[in-house]
A and B are shown apart, each in its own frame.
Chain A
Amino acid sequence: MRTFDVSTRTDGSTVVLEVAGSVDAVTAVRLADELQAQLDAGRPRIVVDLGAVSYASSAALRVLLAAVKGARGAGGDLRLAAVTPGVAKVFELAGFDAIVQRYDDAAAAVASFA
């Protein structure tokens, strides 16, 4: 059974999305909705913590890339934290690393905005 959960917290002027489970064609819309809510609320400095994500497909890439564009267009950025090896493999195959910055953990990603 695949699961998905996303929770949000703020750290200074940065918002951290902690995602858990699988980000796939079924669940990615929930991540998209949360990311869009942050952008709509004027919070374009976003860290997506993927430490508890065991699986991501091209649906995840699509949602994250759209949010990268939205965040940068609003003067911020979307940065990734704690990407697990299985998810990193998919990101690398898709050439995602060239356009999104990755950090070892959420604290480092948040600090990178300072």
Chain B
Amino acid sequence: MANPLRITKPATPANLALFLTLIDVLGDRHDLPAEARSDLRLLAEEACTNVVLHAYPEREPGDLTLELSFADGIATVHLEDDGVPFGPDDAPPAELGGDWQQRPEGGVGWHLIKNMSDELAYERLGERNRLTLRKRVAAA
């Protein structure tokens, strides 16, 4: 198995592009098919965006580590931060019903993560959030 790809940067909107670039690197390294790249990009983007928006309220953003790996047909997206606890069960349920006037413009990030990943694990270890997402990748 190749060494995982890893980046650690402050969890700021300006750094989101850097985090997402790592998905392209993983895709190129393992020659992943286009659909898998999109699925993994979505998982990584939604998870990183959650950290950027919610992990460090009212304080200077701390670091976010994004680690990506691929082995045996399974891609793993792993995130760590030392922000406030924020797991999949902490988010309010997505409001997907109702008419357009009532539909909130946000709040679907976790819903997409839960539906697009094959495996999801969240741990609060000491002062750190650890989120691991796995996705089976079909051959090109």
A99's partner among B48, B100, B108 (CB-CB below 8 A) is B100
Evaluate contact between A95 and B35: CB separation under 8 angstroms. Answer: no
Q: How far is the CB of A81 from chain B (nearest CB, A)?
A: 18
State which residues 99-121 of B face A: CB under 8 Å: 99-101, 103, 105-106, 108-109, 111-112, 115-116
Interface 1/0 per residue, B1-30 and A, CB below 8 Å: 000000000000100110011001000000
Evaluate contact between B116 and A93: CB separation under 8 angstroms. Answer: yes
Evaluate contact between B103 and A65: CB separation under 8 angstroms. Answer: yes
B38's partner among A1, A54, A95, A100 (CB-CB below 8 A) is A54
Evaluate contact between A66 and B105: CB separation under 8 angstroms. Answer: yes
Interface 1/0 per residue, A39-76 and B, CB below 8 Å: 00000000000000011011101100110110010000
- Cα A65 to Cα B99 in complex, Å, equals 11
Evaluate contact between B106 and A62: CB separation under 8 angstroms. Answer: yes
Q: How far is the CB of B61 from chain A (nearest CB, A)?
A: 15
- Determine if A37 is an interface residue (Cβ-Cβ < 8 Å): no
- Determine if A105 is an interface residue (Cβ-Cβ < 8 Å): no
* Interface set of A (CB-CB < 8 Å, partner B): 1-2, 22, 24-26, 54-55, 57-59, 61-62, 65-66, 68-69, 72, 86, 90, 93-95, 98-100
* Interface set of B (CB-CB < 8 Å, partner A): 13, 16-17, 20-21, 24, 34-35, 38, 41-42, 45-46, 48-49, 94, 96-97, 99-101, 103, 105-106, 108-109, 111-112, 115-116
